[in-house]
Structure formats: structure tokens, C-alpha cells
Amino acid sequence: MTLNYLKPFEPGDPIDINVLNKLIQNVNFLASQIAQIYKLPAIQAPVTLTSGATGSTSGNNGFSGNTDGSGNNENFNATDVVRIDILANKVSFRNVGQTIYRTITKEQVESVTGKTIKGFKILTAGYSNAMFVPKGKTESNKKTANGAKLRTFSIVGSQFSFVPAKDGTETYKAGENAPQTTGSSPWYWLYVDFSLSVEVTY
């Protein structure tokens, strides 16, 4: 959506229904932009419909003054953007070079929002804090995995994917600064923190 061009008009002038709808669309557009910048719910006013020969207007505004989506009727949607962190997620380093998929569930999103949601989609996905277990050690002895990485992140709806990779042949040292590609658990696991931004519809 973009801003509609409107001719200037003075207070008290009669407003055509099409002009009113353009004003509403402009307000919705600006509310959406502000919501994205400040990560706030974007309340959308409905377009006004004409009713009858008298030219009177009708249309429920769809909300009771709440900005968190509560009290809305079933036809009204409010959106928000939330961050979801999935800590110490295990990625098999036996799958180096292969695409691995992860799916976010509605329950995971609701556990963050604390509200019942209508739907959601992932906007961005990334990772940090890559760790591994040196050979012969236990999971309580994790070290920073500076010889391993995840690349080629891709997002489709509630699913994101990535590819485990060695950080070059010179810097990758199996069992020393990165997981092994063969061996027994837990030595071939890469542990990472996933960080997602998710658009939520209430």
C-alpha cells in the first residue's frame, strides 16, 4: 500500500465517500509503518461502505479501543512483530552441506505472546553462540565453535532452513574448534541459538 494523493480541503467541507476511504487507507498505511518501526500492534480501520440512497455510511470499526487485539470481532485483525529465541538447538554436523529444516509451531509463538493468535509468519531468521563438545568430553564442557557455521538461511511461512558448513579447510579442526562430521553423540552436534522475528496476527 502507498499513500493516496488527496486534494487539500477545508474543515467543514463535505467529504466524498471516496475521499473518506482514501483518508482511512492513508491512516492504515501510516499505522502499519509506525507499528513495524516500533514493533507495535497495527490497528487497521475498515473502509467505509455506502448504504442506501441517502448516502449514509455504515461499517463497524471492529475494535473496542484496545490496541492489543483483545475485544475484536472475528473479522478484525491486529498484527505485531515478536522475537523468538530458541536456545542451544542441536544441529547434526554429519549433514555438512545439506539443507536442514526447522518449523515453528503456533504453540511456540503463543508461549511468547501470551495470547491466542490467528496466524503467524517468520520474517527473519539467524543464529549466534555456536558451540560444540570436544571429543571425549561431555555436554557440560562445550567450547566455542569458531571452525563451523550455518549459512544459506531461507524462510517460507512458518519454516526456515539453513546449511551447516565448515569455516574453510584451513580453519576447521574437527574436535578442536568445531564438531566432527563422524563419531558418536554428542561430538558431532553443533549447538546454536536461533533468533527469529515473527509477524503475528491476532
Per-residue pLDDT reduced to its tens digit, 135-176: 889 989 999 999 999 999 999 999 999 999 999 878 999 999
**Distance between CA atoms of residues 163 and 96, nearest Å:** 7
Which residue has 571452525 as its cell numbers? Answer: 147
Which whole number is the average pLDDT over 114-133? 95
Which long-range contacts does 113-119 make (Cβ < 8 Å, 24+ apart)?
113/80, 113/82, 113/200, 115/68, 115/69, 115/70, 115/202, 116/202, 117/200, 117/201, 117/202, 118/77, 118/201, 118/202, 119/200, 119/201
Share of the chain above pLDDT 90, in %: 55
Q: How many whole angstroms separate alpha carbon 151 and alpha carbon 161?
A: 9
Grid cell locating 32: 502499519
The larger pLDDT score, comparing residue 197 to residue 23, is at 197
Does position 106 have pLDDT exceeding 70, yes or no?
Answer: yes
Which region holds residue 108: left if phi is over 0, alpha if psi is between -120 and 50, else beta?
Answer: alpha
Radius of gyration of the chain (CA): 25
- The residue extents of the domains of the chain are 1-76, 78-201
| pLDDT score at 61 | 41
Q: What pLDDT sits at residue 151?
A: 95
Answer yes or no: is pLDDT of 67 > 50: no
Count H helices, E strands: the chain?
Answer: 2, 10
- For 39-82, where are the alpha helices, taking DSSP H only? none
